[in-house]
């Protein structure tokens, strides 16, 4: 099979808007979670914290493209532009039928939907409505807008699967290149900041509500004192490329993808299944032709919810035991939903290239119901060659990606 390498990285996150900024924030153990005063006016919303993207000029996107984009697509456009520039892809490469796109988000533009639908319902008429509204709200708004803006004409795979949107995008891109359907795939996902997403988890009693006065303490993955997740925003893009294609043009290589698995629990719509989680990790190991002991670090999905962290810990322990280092970086920046998989994949690249295994922020004592996995409570400097990133979503959709330090 063809080898798949990563030649471009772009991101916008609560911890920074580039590979280097994210690395420095993780090294400095910063938190990107903050109090959101605007949410105080929303009746009965318990959670008041989030991680937001800052210092991004979305108006730099040309208006002819921006007019059909909500914030989610705009964030994706900025990070994708970064990744394309980082990979030094030419317009000819992007326009080739051998270059494709795999990108997703949980939903389309939430803010646009909240502006558009009440007006239509109140007037029972579409007259006077912005003709671009649906293009901002539609589920595949990110993939469609990116293809138009960057003139990508190859395969287009919208991966809209909630919290696995971007990791499925990376997986779809990996398989497209590995099996010869494309030479280059631009992959990732995004999510925009909106109280609708926070409210969904708040109603389910799954959002953190206890630390509005100390936002940095809100997310505590695996810890016995955790009280729920923090909903955040962010986006990221990776350029995946067939190895020989990348070498022929002298591309910089961040790492190699060597394994991927995706599956569905086929059970409860929201309750996570440890069996499903375990199965997808085993599938990615099989794809990579590796044994569990070959994995030197795991970036866990662990969102700091009661049931999710417990199920994931048992699934992880069943395969890897108590030695493999595990951390969840959602303690630093919250849960980026459709953007989490790609940003956490960049963190895996940081682990490979910078020898930094990031801590699990706010982790002190492992929940007694969790399996005894090796959760990192402090940053660890360690040279690693193979790492895993796991993500899980509503509907029982699971993903597992394995990255390897590039060696010729």
What are 12-27's pLDDT values in tens digits?
999 999 999 999 999 9
**pLDDT tens, 299-344?**
999 999 999 999 999 999 999 999 999 999 999 999 999 999 999 9
**pLDDT tens, 194-250?**
999 999 999 999 999 999 999 999 999 999 999 999 999 999 999 999 999 999 999
Under the banding of pLDDT at 50, 70 and 90, the label for residue 134 is confident
DSSP 405: -
Torsion angle (degrees, nearest 10) of CA 303, 336, 171, 304: 0
Under the banding of pLDDT at 50, 70 and 90, the label for residue 117 is confident
Average pLDDT for 261-284: 95
Under the banding of pLDDT at 50, 70 and 90, the label for residue 398 is very high
Q: What is the DSSP string of 161-191?
A: -GGGHHHHHHHHHHHHHHTTS-SEEEEEEEE
Per-chain mean pLDDT for the chain: 96
The pLDDT assigned to 55 comes to 97
Under the banding of pLDDT at 50, 70 and 90, the label for residue 294 is very high
pLDDT of 170 above 80: yes
pLDDT of 139 above 80: yes
Q: Could you tell me which CATH class the domain 4-395 is placed in?
A: alpha beta
Under the banding of pLDDT at 50, 70 and 90, the label for residue 48 is very high
Average pLDDT for 54-64: 97
Which sequence spans correspond to the domains of the chain?
4-395
Residues belonging to the active site: 163, 301, 335
Q: What is the DSSP string of 106-161?
A: SSS-HHHHHHHHHHHHHHT--TT--TTHHHHHSTTHHHHHHHHHHT--S-EEE---
pLDDT of 126 above 80: no
Residue closest to 348 by CA, chosen among 312, 395, 399 = 399
The pLDDT assigned to 114 comes to 79
Q: Is the pTM for the entire model greater than 0.95?
A: yes
The pLDDT assigned to 174 comes to 98
Angle at 249 between CA 246 and CA 253, to 5 degrees: 40
């Amino acid at each position: 099979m063809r080898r798949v390498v990563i030649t471009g990285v772009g991101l916008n996150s609560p911890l920074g808007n580039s590979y280097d900024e994210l690395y420095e924030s993780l090294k400095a153990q910063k938190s990107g979670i903050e109090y959101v005063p605007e949410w105080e006016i929303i009746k009965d919303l318990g959670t008041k914290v989030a991680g937001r993207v800052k210092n991004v000029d979305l108006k730099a996107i040309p208006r002819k493209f921006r007019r059909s984009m909500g914030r989610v697509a705009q964030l994706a456009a900025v990070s994708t532009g970064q990744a394309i520039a980082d990979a030094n892809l030419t317009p000819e490469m992007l326009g080739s039928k051998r270059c494709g796109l795999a990108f997703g988000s949980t939903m389309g533009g939430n803010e646009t939907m909240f502006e558009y639908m009440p007006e239509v319902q109140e007037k029972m008429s579409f007259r006077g409505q912005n003709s671009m509204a649906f293009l901002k709200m539609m589920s595949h708004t990110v993939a469609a807008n990116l293809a138009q803006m960057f003139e990508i004409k190859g395969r287009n795979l919208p991966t809209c699967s909630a919290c696995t949107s971007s990791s499925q995008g990376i997986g779809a891109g990996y398989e497209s290149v590995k099996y010869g359907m494309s030479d280059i795939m631009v992959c990732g996902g995004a999510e925009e900041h909106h109280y609708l997403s926070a409210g969904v988890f708040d109603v389910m009693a799954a959002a953190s509500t206890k630390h509005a006065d100390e936002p940095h303490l809100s997310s505590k993955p695996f810890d016995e004192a955790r009280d729920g997740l923090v909903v955040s925003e962010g986006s990221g893009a990776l350029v995946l490329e067939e190895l020989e294609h990348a070498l022929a043009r002298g591309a910089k290589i961040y790492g190699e993808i060597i394994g991927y698995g995706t599956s569905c629990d086929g059970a409860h719509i929201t309750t996570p299944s440890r069996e499903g989680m375990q199965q997808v990790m085993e599938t990615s190991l099989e794809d990579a032709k590796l044994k569990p002991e070959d994995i030197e670090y795991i970036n866990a999905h662990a969102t700091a919810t009661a049931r999710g962290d417990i199920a994931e810990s048992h699934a992880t322990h069943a395969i890897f035991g108590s030695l493999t280092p595990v951390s969840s970086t959602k303690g630093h920046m919250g849960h980026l939903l459709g953007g989490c998989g790609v940003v956490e994949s960049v963190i895996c690249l940081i682990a490979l290239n910078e020898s930094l295994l990031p801590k699990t922020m706010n982790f002190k004592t492992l929940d007694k119901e969790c399996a005894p996995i090796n959760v990192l409570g402090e940053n660890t400097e360690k040279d690693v060659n193979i790492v895993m990133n796991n993500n899980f979503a509503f509907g029982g959709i699971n993903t597992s990606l394995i990255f390897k330090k590039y060696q010729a």
